[in-house]
Structure 1
Amino acid sequence: MSKLQQAFNERNNKINKIEKIKELKTPMSIYNRLNSISSSGLEYLKEEDSSFFLKCFGAFLKKDGKFMLRVRIPAGQLNIEQATKIGELSKVYGEDYIDITTRQQIELRYIKLENLYTVIKELEEVGISTFQTGVDNFRNIVTSSFDGLGDLNIIKTKPFIDELQSIFLKEEEWIGTLPRKFNTAMLGIPMNDCNIYGHDCCFILAQKDDDIGFNLYLGGRVGVQASDTGLFIKQNEVKAVFNAVIHLFKEYGFRDNRNKNRLHFLLEAVGMDAFVDAIKTQSGLLFESSGKILATEEFMLDESGVLDLGQGTSAVHISIPSGIFTGESLIEVANIAAQADGEIRLSVEQSLYIITGTEKVTTIKESLLFNIYQRYHNTYFNHQIACAGTATCAFGVIENKPDAIEMANFLQKEVPIPGGKVRMYWSACPKGCGIHGVADIGFEGCITKDSTGEKVDGVHIFLGGKATREAKEARVLYKSVPLKEAKFKVKKLMELYKAKRENGESFESFDSRVLSSLSIEEIVEMLDK
Structure 2
Amino acid sequence: MTMQVLQEAHNLRNKKINKIEKMKSEQDPMEFIKTFEDFCKGSYEETVNDSHTKHFLKCLGLYDKGTSETFVIRIRIPGGQLSVEQALKLAQCSKKYGNDYIDITTRGQVEFRYLKFNELPLLLKDLSTVGISAIQCAGDNFRGVVTSPFDSYSKTSPIETMPLLKEIQSVFLEQEAWMGTLPRKFNIAILGDSINTCNIFGNDCAFALASKNGEIGFNLYLGGKVGVQARDLNLFVKDHQVKEVFAAVISLYKEYGFRDNRNKNRLTFLLDAVSLEEFAKAIKEHSKLELPQAGELLVKDEFTLDDSSTIELKDGKSAIHFGIPSGIFCGSDLEQAALLAQKHDGVVRLTYEQSFYIITNTSSIEDIKQSSLYKKYDSYHNIYFNNQIACAGNKECSFGVIPGKPDAINMAEYLNKNVPIEDGKVRMYWSACPKGCGIHGVADIGFEGAKAKDEEGNSCYGVKIFLGGKAASSILEARQLTKAVSIPKAQELTAKLLNIYKEEKNENETFESFDTRVLSSLAIEEIQTRIGL
State the TM-score bracket (shorter-chain normalisation).
over 0.9
Alpha-carbon distance between aligned partners in 2 of 1:470 and 1:7, rounded to the nearest angstrom: 25
In the superposition, the TM-score normalised over structure 1's length comes to 0.98
Query: Counterpart of 2:412 in structure 1: which amino acid?
Result: A
Q: Deviations over 1:411-439 (max 9, x none)?
A: 01111111211100000011110000000
Per-residue deviation at 1:150?
4.0
Matches within 5 A, 1:234-383: 234-383=238-387
- 1:150–1:312: 8 Å Cα contact kept in structure 2? no
Alpha-carbon distance between aligned partners in 1 of 2:518 and 2:90, rounded to the nearest angstrom: 40
Per-residue deviation at 1:345?
0.4
- Distance verdict in 2 for CA 1:456–1:50, change over 3 Å: farther
Aligned residues: 526
Q: Deviations over 1:190-229 (max 9, x none)?
A: 1001111111111000000111000111111111111111
Per-residue deviation at 1:300?
1.8
Q: Which moved more, 1:223-232 or 1:346-355?
A: 223-232
Query: Counterpart of 2:30 in structure 1: which amino acid?
Result: M
Q: What is the Cα-based RMSD across aligned positions, in Å?
A: 1.2
Alpha-carbon distance between aligned partners in 1 of 2:24 and 2:132, rounded to the nearest angstrom: 26
Per-residue deviation at 1:297?
3.0
Q: Deviations over 1:335-383 (max 9, x none)?
A: 1111111000000000000000111112211111111110222211110
- 2:449–2:464: 8 Å Cα contact kept in structure 1? yes
Counterpart of 2:406 in structure 1 is: 402
- 2:348–2:357: 8 Å Cα contact kept in structure 1? yes
- Distance verdict in 2 for CA 1:428–1:328, change over 3 Å: same
Per-residue deviation at 1:482?
0.4
Counterpart of 1:415 in structure 2 is: 419
Identity %: 53
In the superposition, the TM-score normalised over structure 2's length comes to 0.97
Q: What's the secondary structure of 1:349's corresponding residue?
A: coil
Counterpart of 2:31 in structure 1 is: 29
Per-residue deviation at 1:470?
5.6
Query: Counterpart of 1:275 in structure 2: which amino acid?
Result: F
- 1:306–1:315: 8 Å Cα contact kept in structure 2? yes
Counterpart of 2:13 in structure 1 is: 11
Matches within 5 A, 1:71-470: 71-468=75-472
Alpha-carbon distance between aligned partners in 1 of 2:381 and 2:220, rounded to the nearest angstrom: 36
Alpha-carbon distance between aligned partners in 2 of 1:161 and 1:484, rounded to the nearest angstrom: 43
Per-residue deviation at 1:51?
2.6
Per-residue deviation at 1:50?
4.0
Query: Counterpart of 1:52 in structure 2: which amino acid?
Result: H
Query: Counterpart of 2:83 in structure 1: which amino acid?
Result: N
Q: Deviations over 1:156-184 (max 9, x none)?
A: 11100001101100001101000111111
- Distance verdict in 2 for CA 1:352–1:83, change over 3 Å: same
Alpha-carbon distance between aligned partners in 1 of 2:486 and 2:255, rounded to the nearest angstrom: 46
Q: Deviations over 1:131-160 (max 9, x none)?
A: 111111111111111111142221111100
Per-residue deviation at 1:71?
0.4
Candidates 515, 522, 529, aligned match of 1:508: 515
Counterpart of 1:58 in structure 2 is: 61
Alpha-carbon distance between aligned partners in 2 of 1:92 and 1:299, rounded to the nearest angstrom: 36
Unmatched segments (≥5 aa) in structure 2: none
Alpha-carbon distance between aligned partners in 2 of 1:64 and 1:363, rounded to the nearest angstrom: 45
Per-residue deviation at 1:64?
4.3
Alpha-carbon distance between aligned partners in 2 of 1:31 and 1:509, rounded to the nearest angstrom: 50
Alpha-carbon distance between aligned partners in 2 of 1:49 and 1:120, rounded to the nearest angstrom: 21
Candidates 491, 495, 504, aligned match of 2:495: 491
Q: What's the secondary structure of 2:59's corresponding residue?
A: helix
Unmatched segments (≥5 aa) in structure 1: none
Alpha-carbon distance between aligned partners in 2 of 1:266 and 1:288, rounded to the nearest angstrom: 23
Q: Deviations over 1:290-333 (max 9, x none)?
A: 11111123322121111111320100000000000001010011
Q: What's the secondary structure of 2:380's corresponding residue?
A: coil
